[in-house]
Chains A and B, each alone.
Chain A
Amino acid sequence: DQQVKQNSPSLSVQEGRISILNCDYTNSMFDYFLWYKKYPAEGPTFLISISSIKDKNEDGRFTVFLNKSAKHLSLHIVPSQPGDSAVYFCAASANTDKLIFGTGTRLQVFP
């Protein structure tokens, strides 16, 4: 049972445009959400997080939005850069329990 789902396995965006990566979850007990970025041959690295008491968190070009009623979160990257090309994983946890990851979305930013 996949509690965290990323339904788009890949996304292609032109440089300078906005990238929107989506993530859905099924467990209403999740109260903390994170996004990780992974380059080939490297481990995932933390990007941005959001607590369930918020609906938005921003860090430079990266903004995460949380819609608790829809059990949906999204990561916006503006403007997108070629160096953003990577696999992005969303993750969630409930009551400080283990992190559950999604299946990932491969983002490609082309010139």
Chain B
Amino acid sequence: KAGVTQTPRYLIKTRGQQVTLSCSPISGHRSVSWYQQTPGQGLQFLFEYFSETQRNKGNFPGRFSGRQFSNSRSEMNVSTLELGDSALYLCASSPQASGNTGELFFGEGSRLTVL
């Protein structure tokens, strides 16, 4: 069974640009969550999608957005990039909504560097 796949794995952007990250969950999983990992801040929750609907949203500015498609694949977009957006972006999937006594299965992440 294939794991969670994130693309691209690495990317470099400049300030002001926008970026789209993709996540393919484990087959059969309907929930996709996105987290931002930065040194000293741990994993900060961005948002969760379940059956194409945003179920939860973290405390990030509106520049951060996401969506989920009917096949459960998800994308997140960051517009008008800032230096502080440099981070590892992790996607996680689960068969049911996260936090519902179910563990999350993480991808390897997309490392974004903003210059």
Contact = CB atoms under 8 A, between A and B. Distances in A.
Interface of A: 6, 9, 32, 34, 36, 41-46, 49, 51, 89, 91, 93-104
Contacts of A93: 98-99
B75 interface: no
Query: Lowest 10 A-B CB distances belong to which pairs?
Result: A43-B106, A93-B99, A103-B42, A101-B43, A46-B103, A96-B100, A98-B56, A96-B99, A44-B106, A97-B99
A92 B4 CA distance: 22
Chain A residues touching B, majority SS: loop
Interface string B43-64: 1110010000001101000000
B24 interface: no
A100 B106 CA distance: 14
Contacts of B104: 44, 46, 99
B43 A34 contact: no
Interface string B11-53: 0000000000000000000000101000011111100100000
B97 A96 contact: yes
A98 B90 contact: no
Given A32-B99, A93-B99, A96-B101, A101 B106 contact: no
Contacts of B105: 46
B99 A98 contact: yes
B45 A98 contact: yes
B40 A103 contact: yes
23 contacts: A32-B99, A32-B101, A34-B103, A41-B108, A43-B90, A43-B92, A43-B106, A44-B90, A44-B106, A49-B103, A93-B98, A96-B97, A96-B99, A98-B58, A98-B98, A98-B99, A99-B45, A101-B35, A101-B42, A101-B45, A102-B42, A103-B42, A104-B42
